[in-house]
Amino acid sequence: MKRISVRFLFFLVCYITIPGLLPVFSIPTVQLTSFKQDTTEVNNLLEQAKTHFNSDPGKAISLGLKARDLAVKIKFSKGEAYALKNIGIAYYIRGDYDQTLNYWQQSLKTFKSINDELGEANLLSNIGSVYFNRANELKALEYNLKSLSVSEKINNKLRIATALVNIGAVYYNKLATHDKALKYYLRALPLTEEIKDNSAIGTVNANIGEIYFEQGNDSLALFYFKKSLVAYKGTENMPYALNAVGKVYLKKGDYEEAIKNHTQALGLAEKLNGKLDIAQSLLGLANATQKIGDDKQAISFYKKVEPLALEIKSLIELKDSYKGFAASYAQMGDFSNAYIYQSKLTNIKDSLYNIESDKRIAGLQFDFDIQKKQGEIDLLVKDKKLQELNLDRQRSIRNSLIGGLFLVFIIAFIIFRNYQLKVKTNRVLDHQKVEIEHLLSNILPSEVAIELRRDGVATPRYYESVSVMFTDFKNFTQMADDLSPQEVVLELNTCFMTFDDIIEKYNLEKIKTIGDAYMCAGGIPTKNSTHHIDIIKASIEIREFISLRNQERQNRG
């Protein structure tokens, strides 16, 4: 989803599971009149496989394998290429990316062997989508730039639009390149509308929605996500669009609508056995239930997300689930588990941040632009007169030098900016760690907090002798009826803060407060022989404070 991600997204952003597969579900039937009955049978098997992609991917795989075997037997290379592609689609829908890459790489090789550039462009972008879903942005950009180059060469608008959307998604996944992402999406939008392909229209609208969502423009984000939902109606992409709509409602505080959309997405995703969509639906439900205060239910959803994310190697969903675990456990007072998942979150954030990948992404884009420019120069040179050849070469050398210097500047700038981002990220993580440790120190005795940070668990202790004090406000209900809610809270806060100061003075340990009740103990966590005297002294001082407080209230009328 973020992925446009987020992931964004995509996660994100929104590579979702779709951008690399824009044309995948409209596979042309391969018709070669020179073949007889066997080629017709291959075509029929391919058509049958298409009908089972969403309802029964396993059946689609079986039919695809039969088509491949027959095509190989009769040396029908084009039929073999499409059969391999069909098998990969079915595995993609099931979330089995290893098998998807296996069959799509075979399909790509076959398309190249028969000089089918349209099929080559399609497979290049499809493979790029798999690498994106595995958080390998470098490979994703490499394959999609190749797809764009081939697509522009054959001037196929559908494939150009697909590559533009996918490249935009890769750039969106890095904060420093969001402007490039928007540039590619805007190039893709009119193409998708021109070819009137609902899958492409849905994807571009979804990705634009992700950008507006990231920018905080929730109204426009919801508008474009709903447009994508209309375009995806009745397709395997509906779970993504429903999850996207759900996350906007979650951000806007409409938790009922958020849960409604994520629940609907989960039902559709489970029918399709789409593991990424299932994980994202569960993650949306977990976040929504956490917001309404049901942390136990939220944790149950996060527990379902974690193994799915690990299985499909989706680091973005794994990161978000760890973040949710840490927050829910902290809110429930289970600081041991909160600390464990916060540590996991820190580790996975480091693995997702790769400065070297950013540098090479910029290099690939520059190389692609240079190749296009050089092609234009070559065409111009052919039209020049012979006497202008030397001048053209000088200009080419000059432009190359300028371009080289510009490339060095860009790489240096990107390295410096990414270094700053890394430093900033580390500072934030260090600050969060300090906040958690400070929170543990405030809530737990210092010895317990130190043990929890060191070992991850706190060992129960037995105390032979302790003293416990309970306080309760007499006639509190009557007093609460006479005061406004704000005055009641202020009065309790003033009293309890004073109680905290008094018990600290006498080396007592605060246990908890419930309503107007206050509980503390002496002789813990550090044993001492004067705890019974200390707690009596504290009780007397608390009583004197309350008496003085009551007198002041009476004097004020």
- Report the interhelical angle of 335-352 vs 315-331 (nearest 10°): 160
- Is 531 within a domain? yes
The contacts of residue 515 (CB under 8 Å, 6+ apart) are 476
* Residues near 456 by beta carbon (within 8 Å), at least 6 away in sequence: 336, 339, 340
Whether the pLDDT of residue 470 is over 80: the answer is yes
For residues 472 and 549, state if they share a domain. Answer: yes
Encode pLDDT of 49-77 as tens digits.
888 888 899 999 999 999 999 999 999 99
Q: Quote the pLDDT of residue 8.
A: 28
Q: How far is the C-alpha of 278 from the C-alpha of 276, rounded, in Å? A: 5
Total domain count for the chain?
2
The DSSP-derived string for 370-439 is HHHHHHHHHHHHHHS-GGGHHHHHHHHHHHHHHHHHHHHHHHHHHHHHHHHHHHHHHHHHHHHHHHHHHH
Give the model confidence (pLDDT) of 96-122 as tens digits: 999 999 999 999 999 999 999 999 999
The answer to whether residue 407 sits within a structural domain is yes
**pLDDT of res. 362:** 54
In a domain, 495, yes or no: yes
For the domain that residue 472 is a member of, what is the CATH number?
A: 3.30.70.1230
Is the model more confident about 439 or about 335?
A: 335
Query: Is 322 within a domain?
Result: no
pLDDT at residue 238 above 70?
yes
In a domain, 4, yes or no: no
Task: Kindly state whether residue 55 falls inside one of the protein's structural domains.
Answer: no
Residue 517 sits in which domain range?
A: 467-555
Residue 273: inside a domain: no
CB distance 516 to 473 below 8 Å:
yes
Question: Do 415 and 477 sit in the same domain of this protein?
Answer: no
At 370, the pLDDT band (50, 70, 90 cuts) reads very low
Position 440 pLDDT exceeds 70: no
**Does the structure show a pLDDT above 50 at 244?**
yes
Please report which confidence band the pLDDT of residue 348 belongs to, taking 50, 70 and 90 as the band edges.
confident
d(CA 46, CA 66): 9
Q: Which of 420, 437, 454 is the last residue of a domain?
A: 437
Q: What is the pLDDT of residue 232?
A: 92
Distance CA 30, CA 20 (A): 22
Amino acid making up residue 458: A
- Mean pLDDT within 379-406: 68
Residues 79 and 30 sit within 8 Å (Cβ to Cβ): yes
Average pLDDT over residues 148-170: 91
Burial class (CB in 10 A: 0-12, 13-18, 19+), 438: exposed
| Predicted confidence (pLDDT) per residue in 500-542, tens digit | 999 999 999 988 888 889 999 999 888 888 999 999 999 999 9
Q: Clarify whether residues 495 and 432 are in a common domain.
A: no
The span from the CA of 32 to the CA of 76, in Å, is 9
What is the DSSP annotation of 187-236? Answer: HHHHHHHHHT-HHHHHHHHHHHHHHHHHHT-HHHHHHHHHHHHHHTTTST
**Does 159 map to a domain?**
no
Whether residues 433 and 485 share a domain: the answer is no
Res 22: pLDDT: 38
Domain shared by 420 and 484, yes or no: no
Mean pLDDT of 271-283: 91
Q: Is the pLDDT of residue 353 over 80?
A: no
- Out of 419, 437, 455, a domain closes at 437
Position 155 scores a pLDDT of: 94
The per-residue pLDDT of the chain, averaged, comes to 82
Domain check: are 473 and 545 in the same one? yes
Indicate whether 471 and 430 sit together in one domain.
no
Give pLDDT, residue 441: 60
Q: Span 421-446, mean pLDDT?
A: 72
Residue 360 predicted with pLDDT over 60: no
Domain boundary among 437, 452, 476: 437
Q: Which of 46, 54, 41, 42 is nearest to 27 (CA)?
A: 46
- Determine the average pLDDT of the residues in 158-170: 88
Instruction: Determine if the pTM surpasses 0.85.
Output: no
Please indicate whether residue 529 or residue 444 has the higher confidence score (pLDDT): 529
